Amino acid sequence: MAAGGNGQYDCIVVGGGHNGLVCATYLARSGRSVLVLEAAERLGGAAVTREFAPGFRVSACAHLLHLMPAPLMRELGLAGHGLKLAAQALPTVALSADGAHLRLAPGDLSDLAQHSPADATAYAQWQALAQRLTAALHPVLAEPPPRLGTGSWRQRAALLRLGWQIRRLGRRDMRELLRIGGMCVQDLLDERFESGLLKGALALDAVLGSNLGPRSPGTVLSLLYRIAAAGGAEGLAQPQGGLGALSEALARAAGAAGAQMRTRAAVERIVVRQDRASGVVLASGEELAARVVISSADPKTTLLGLLGSEYLDAGFVRRVAQLRTRGLAAKLHLALEALPQFRGLTPAALRGRLLVAPSPDYIERAFNHAKYGEFSAAPMLEITVPTLADPALAPPGKQVLSVIVQYAPYALAAGWQGQRQRFTDLVIDTLAGFAPDLRRCVASAELLTPPDIEREFRISGGHWHHAELALDQFFMVRPVPGAAQYQAPVPGLFLCGAGCHPGGGVMGLAGRNAARQVMREAA
C-alpha cells in the first residue's frame, strides 16, 4: 500500500534484515502502509549470501537455518515465495583429533551408542526432557514479554500464564527446570554424560555467539533457549542459495503483503516532533514521514545513534550504553579448489555441521583468552561445506568452506589490524589438523572479525544477537527495562531487532512480536 495522501506512511521500518522484513510483512498484512528502509544494496541485513571471491558465494554470518520456527515460516508462506532447502535435518559431527568422530543425526544415536552406550540412553532422556521444557518455554519466546509494575491486568495475566506453563510441566520437570535454569552447562553435562565429544558439542551450542564459556553461569539457559527457539524441531537446514535466499523469500512475502522496500536508503536519524517519532531523515537528506517508526537496528544504534540521548531520560540512556554488545564470533570463508580430505570422514559426512569442540574444557580454554582481549590459541569452530548440497555457490568442481570461529573478541587488545593474517592462519591450521591437505586446496580466504561485522552490517559491537543473551539481558529486561516491550520511551518509536526479546539468531520472532505490539499500542 502506498503512503497516504499526505505522503505519510503508517509505518516505517528501519533496516531490512530478517526481523525488519518479518515485522513489515505482518504490519502490511494488517492493512497498514509500510516502507522498509535498508542502508545496504540488498535486503537481508546479516542474513545475506555474498560473493567473497570471484565465483564463490557464502552466507555472510549464520550459515545454517535452525531457529526460525516452522509455524512462522508457514505463516509467512516462505516456501511459496521461493524458499527451497538444499539440505535439512543435517547431522552434526563432533570432530576428534584421533579420527574417532562422533556423528549425531536427528533420530539416530547409533554412533553415540558406539562411543558410549550410557550416553546414548542419557542423551535420549535429555532430548525428551528438552522437548517437554520447550513446550513450556517456546510460547514465552513467541509473545511480547509482560511488563511489571504497571498494574495492568493483561500484563499480570501474561505473567500468570508463564507461571502456569511452567507449573504444568509437573512437579519433577518444573523442579529440574528451576534447578538447572541458572547453572553452567558444564555442570549439567558432567551430571548426565561421559563422552567428551558429546559434551563438547552440546557446550558449543550453549555458548555459540555469546560472551560465555561452558563454566559461565546461565549457559544452561542459553542451551535451552536454542532448543526452545526452534520449537523443539531437531536438525539444521541449509537454504538453497544460502541465508540470502531466506531474506529474498522474506522480501517477496513482505512485497506480496503490500510493503514497499527501498535499498541504499540509509537512515541517518529518527525525527522527533512534539515528543513523538514522526519519521526519518535519510543520509541523502530526504525526509520521510510516518505515524510509527519501527527499528530493526540494534538498540544502541537505534536509541543512541539514530534517535539520540537528548530525547531520552539519562538513566535509560545509561542502561542502553551499558548493554553488553561486544561480539566474540568471527567468520572465516575459504574458497577451495577441491574438497579436502577430512581424516575419518567420508565426503558424504561433510554435508553436515562439523564441530571442533572436543570437550567443554577445550572451549573453556579457548574462552580464557577472550577474557583478556586475546583470541583463542585453540579456537572452537563450527564448520559447513555448503557447496556439497548447493554446488551453485561455487564455480563447477570447486567448494566453499564456512567457519564460525570463537573466540575472537571485538576489542582485541593487540588490535585486529596486524592480527588478521595470524588469526586466519591459526584457524586454517586448526582445520588442517583434521584435513591435512586443506592448505593446498585454499584459493582464497576472507575473515570477518566482529569489527568487520559491525562495519559491514551496522551492528554495534558486531554481536550476532545485537546484545548478549544472558539472564540480565533476557525476557522482561531485554534489551533494557523501559524498552522491553518493543516500545521505546519516545511515543511512536518501536524496536523489532534481535536486541529485543526473544533475541537473535535467524529466528524472526522479535519481528513478529514487535508487529503485534505495534498493532496493539498504535492502532
Q: Which residues bind another protein (CB under 8 A)?
A: 275, 304, 308-318, 321, 482, 489
Look at residue 495 and give its three-state secondary structure: strand
Q: Which is nearer to another protein, 317 or 428 (CB)?
A: 317
CA–CA distances in Å: residue 509 to residues 85, 119, 467: 20, 33, 16
Q: Which is nearer to another protein, 91 or 482 (CB)?
A: 482
Q: Which is nearer to another protein, 330 or 488 (CB)?
A: 488
| Distance separating alpha carbons of residues 163 and 309, to the nearest angstrom | 36
Q: Please say whether the beta carbons of 87 and 72 come within 8 A.
A: no
| Distance separating alpha carbons of residues 488 and 514, to the nearest angstrom | 11
Q: Please say whether the beta carbons of 462 and 494 come within 8 A.
A: no
Distance between start and end Cα atoms, the chain: 17
* Residue 391, amino acid: P
Q: Which is nearer to another protein, 222 or 485 (CB)?
A: 485
List helix spans (H) across 36-116: 70-76, 110-115
Tell me how far, at minimum, the Cβ of 323 lies from another protein, in Å: 12
Q: Which is nearer to another protein, 94 or 490 (CB)?
A: 490
Q: Which is nearer to another protein, 314 or 523 (CB)?
A: 314
Q: Which is nearer to another protein, 302 or 406 (CB)?
A: 302
- In which residue are the cell numbers 495475566 written? 157
Tell me how far, at minimum, the Cβ of 311 lies from another protein, in Å: 5
Tell me how far, at minimum, the Cβ of 155 lies from another protein, in Å: 17
Half-sphere exposure of 170 (CA within 13 A, CB side): 6
Half-sphere exposure of 493 (CA within 13 A, CB side): 28
Which set of grid coordinates corresponds to residue 412? 582485541
CA–CA distances in Å: residue 381 to residues 24, 256, 357, 428, 491: 34, 39, 7, 11, 43
CA–CA distances in Å: residue 506 to residues 492, 502, 510, 519: 26, 11, 10, 23
Tell me how far, at minimum, the Cβ of 355 lies from another protein, in Å: 40
DSSP 519: H
Look at residue 388 and give its three-state secondary structure: helix
Tell me how far, at minimum, the Cβ of 313 lies from another protein, in Å: 4
| Distance separating alpha carbons of residues 290 and 12, to the nearest angstrom | 6
Bridging pattern class, strands 49-53 and 56-59: antiparallel
Q: Please say whether the beta carbons of 270 and 277 come within 8 A.
A: yes
Do you find a cis peptide bond into 54, omega within 30 degrees of 0? no
Q: Which is nearer to another protein, 42 or 269 (CB)?
A: 269
Tell me how far, at minimum, the Cβ of 479 lies from another protein, in Å: 16
Tell me how far, at minimum, the Cβ of 275 lies from another protein, in Å: 6
Tell me how far, at minimum, the Cβ of 309 lies from another protein, in Å: 3
Q: Which is nearer to another protein, 82 or 489 (CB)?
A: 489
Tell me how far, at minimum, the Cβ of 305 lies from another protein, in Å: 9
Tell me how far, at minimum, the Cβ of 321 lies from another protein, in Å: 5
Q: Which is nearer to another protein, 77 or 491 (CB)?
A: 491
